[in-house]
Amino acid sequence: MDEQKGGTPGMDESAQDAGLGAELPGGRARPKTGKSEQTRALILETAMRLFQERGYEKTTMRAIAAEAGISVGNAYYYFASKEFLIQGFYDGMTVEHAVDAARRMQGHTEFADRLHVALSSWLDTAAPYHEFAAQFFRTAADPNSSLSPFANESHRARATAVGLFRDVLTGSDVAPKLDKELAELLPDLLWLHLMIIVLYWVFDHTPDQERTREFVRRSTPMVAKVVVLSRYRVFRPLVRDVKGLIQDFILPTIGRTAT
């Protein structure tokens, strides 16, 4: 609400550095990479460990601080709130997913296959966190929270995920046959599709989320079918309408990078 004090970190981790390793190229001018980053990482790791051990609610900020051997205030110096800890986690998981999916898609060229692999990969990556991830997606529906995968303009995780789905498409056999504009929309749509699956997943209490896996197995071919069918003449008007709707109403609300 109020203005930030000085140059507190923890708020603006979006623009800072794009890559993963935080090596400043030329200089040891400011010893930026030193203690500060270390503490930050320590807090995040400790928090994640405790979240997995006891769940989100049960893990208190005091416990995190104690376990990490620092003070509560210090944790708040790096993370504006408890929720921001999850943000850090989620960013990491998304990258993990993108890497794993890319690896597993190698060799597959059929669209349905690639899509299925990408989604399964997400389920596998997220599985260890199933219980406490629910907590994350709870706040996803909050427009005031900067955690929302929708609202926040520069959500790094979303960009990564959409990029992955672009890859799913471009590496597949249907790519060249599709209407160009539609091809541009699809990655975002597939990401939305993933969001729906995630919603389903969150509510899924079967062991190993078997139900969601079955859901993916059965829904993926249909999605593929729809994509393929969309090329036929009969559907043109409908496809055009839907495309317009999405372009005008959905995409603008989730921050796009370019047109």
Partner DNA sequence: AGCAGGTTTTGAACGCGTTCGAAACCTGCG
Partner DNA sequence: CGCAGGTTTCGAACGCGTTCAAAACCTGCT
Interaction site with a copy of itself (CB under 8 A)? 134-135, 137-145, 148, 150-151, 199-200, 202-205, 211, 214-215, 218-219, 222, 225-226, 229, 234, 238, 241-242, 245, 248-249, 253
Dihedral (C-alpha) 240, 243, 244, 250: value to the nearest 10 degrees?
160
Nearer to a copy of itself, 77 or 150 (CB): 150
By CB atoms closer than 10 A (0-12, 13-18, 19+), residue 53 is exposed
Measured CA distances, 52 to 1, 17, 236 (Å): 30, 28, 48
Q: Give the binding range for DNA (CB under 7 A) out of 60-68, 99-107, 182-190, 238-246.
A: 60-68
The answer to whether the beta carbons of residues 9 and 22 sit under 8 Å apart is no
Decide if residue 9 touches DNA (CB under 7 A).
Answer: yes
Measured CA distances, 25 to 17, 29, 118, 125, 179 (Å): 11, 11, 34, 32, 42
Residue 247 touches which of a copy of itself, DNA, none (CB < 5 to 8 A by kind)?
none
Decide if residue 134 touches DNA (CB under 7 A).
Answer: no
Cα–Cα distance between 190 and 187 in angstroms, integer?
5
- DSSP, res 187: H
Single residue of 13, 83, 91, 96 touching DNA by CB under 7 A = 83
| Total interface residues for DNA by CB under 7 A | 26
Decide if residue 34 touches DNA (CB under 7 A).
Answer: yes
Residue 160 touches which of DNA, a copy of itself, none (CB < 5 to 8 A by kind)?
none
CB 76 to DNA: min, Å: 4
